[in-house]
Structure 1
Amino acid sequence: MFKQQPGTRQLLEWLCRTPSTTTYRINLLSSSISDFTAKLQQTLSTKYQNIPKVFHINGIPEVICIPKVDGVSTSPLKDLKEIMVDSSCGAAILRGAHIFAPGVLSMQSGTKLGEKVNVFVDLEGKCKKGTNTFYESEQKVFVGIGEVKMQRYQLYGENVANHGIAIEMDSNISGVPSIGDLSSNDALLQNFPSIVCVRVLDPQPGEIVLDMCAAPGNKTTHIVELMRDNGTVIALDKTENKADLIRRKLKANNFKSLKVFAFDSTKLLNDNNEGSEVDTPPFGPCSFDRILLDAPCSAIGNRPLLSSNITPKMLKSYPKVQKKLLRNAVGLLKINGVLVYSTCSVTEEENEGMVQWVLEQFPEMKLVEAMPYFGGPGIGECGLAEDQRQFVQRFGPTEYNRHSSVDSIGFFISKFVKIS
């Protein structure tokens, strides 16, 4: 799964740790950095005495970064009742989220509204939904302390709530500020490499741009914002449910340049449509100025990785889909057009392996520098020349990145130009 070379163990340990930096992307079409910074500082001041000082990134003016909070407790408090959550909920808690109703696996009887509780993660998956008894195990891990907003009768049984905050976190062991998600039309909680990815694409006003696998639409909205809602942006995802996620963002922001379709991007290229208007999929060859392919992947990069049920068979399936998508992307791209290929995975097969495959299969595609640079070079001895390794971006352990002040998820970005 991971290329066995110096640093592999370091990478695996890093994947199990929580990113220490929280990033928001500001919609500069509707808000300003100063306005959202003031809102953010106010929220932090209500929870912490030592308010973490937000910082900004040179070259990406729409980003605000929040560092860790100092002095958080890493042990459960004596005499507090317990609640248990699953591993995916636990990972979200460590990233600063509160606990929503579906995430609460168990809660002790008699737990009252407003009561402080110790929050544990069930890494083994042994805890039965709705139980009020708890087992002891090395795989039962303390993650933080929160305040009860829903009681047992609201969480379990028939006709119960499946939405809303059940536990509002006061703190977590990672030190990431427990402020929940402050996303709105003016700002979006987003992983830093995902923001860099769209900056690498560098969409320009008036262009025709395709986001091939767009749900939930966070990168799509960034594309529209950088184009100042001037041009045409086509956003696709395979299912109606996922396409609807993007449509809701479209409606909320009242974007004029964005069109959303539920369509399988592995079937997107129609050789008979050459020269036709970009109205509805499938599309003809050479239809787009820029294409973002943030491909379906194993997601082995989404930290903290508390548990995983991915199998070797599943890992092998992703490159097959990625190749189909890339083949369509190359055909859809105009000459001198830009293709950005990215994943939130750290496996060589899904990243450097895909870059090498494109260069071998499509001589018309040239690998270029994925500017602006914030990650690190590609893996060595993977088929890419040394200069090609320097062109791509890998986000990994902090000391591996070019911008060491931002600690985020594992991610990969590459950029191609179609030269003929």
Structure 2
Amino acid sequence: MLFACRAGEEVEVRGRVTLSGGPLGQELRVRASILEVDGQAKVLAEADVDEQGTYRLKLAQPYVRVILEAVNNGGGTRASALLDSTEAVPGQDVRTAPPMTLETALEAEVYTQMVRDGVEPGNVDTVDLRLRLTASRAQAVQKSGDIPGALRTLGVAVRAAQQARLRSYAKPDFEYDHKAELLSASRQAAAMLDLALDSGTSSPAKSYADFFVVWDAALSMHSALEHQKAERDAGMVFRAIAKEACIGDDCQFDPSLAEIHATGAAVHLVLQQAGASALQPAADAAASELLSNLLESPVNPTEAWTRYRASIVDAEDSVLYRLLEDTDIERPTLSQLVQASKLNGAMLGLVMLELILKDASSSSPEAIAQSVDRAFANHTAELTRAASPHLEAAGDRAQPALTLMLITQEAARP
């Protein structure tokens, strides 16, 4: 059972305060609070920060969406973080919070801004929010000349992205009544991730891989292709709106880790369904390398994604080419199809950017989600119409090949 504690049972939260690569000084207290519907903070508990930058909080009962702030004697906030829930991982008596960094401060500030702008706390998926707000995004906000404006923009982007994600799951023949279950299970995954990050793991990629195992289990009612579509829609919406909160070199392609993971899982499923299990290790290795590059290397995200896409579709030794090597389709024809799909994908990105930014200031998140869904549907139909006649020679490998092109050209658009 995920939530072993009940109202009235005391829970303990421990964590570390870090900023600029190390612990902060002494004479700090950590304050735990939750936001009411009107945006006002309700303080739950406070505790001193010791010389090592660690703290322990005792709360009267379990809570979700807890804001943790390290405050000085003057009441000023020096660092902060967003705790998805106070529930510990199975086998642990204490909930370990993520170390407070510039990135976690952005997460707490954007969540606070969203609630103050009228979003009900219960309608914010804080795990999803944390996956979208990266360290590079936090640095960009700090460099901006209008931090409050950047926070508002990111809040709008997160809200619209989450609406697009939920709408994608809510098919006409599917009643979306599992939101609470999804949030609960993803919080368990986040608790495991926070514990790993607090331990100073040498492999963030491994920690996130373990996180996504639990994440996938929580979403097992949907296929990997449905996950990919939902994260694709949400990612496109978020990046288009969030561009306004980027400054200088930090305004770069910054894909959600959930979107990257969902794309790799969808490719794995396509190969499995095509009876091409021999190609799965190469595809999985490319996905793992991409995740590691984004988490552990100072690599340009655009370059990392381009290399991944080449290994799956674009290069002549890619998974796609190997999938079709025993079919009657000619290599020049396949090369032309791949290039055409890349061009269509680039055009799609431009159309989407214009569409979303036009609607962002005047439309609701639901309206933006609908527009994105229609645009992707039209793109899929157009690419299918154009490519299908040329793929007939591939026989039963035609549909998997087309799906691979669609996945990699639609996903993670800048």
TM-score normalised over the length of structure 2: 0.29
Q: Which has the higher helix share?
A: 2
Q: Which has the higher strand share?
A: 1
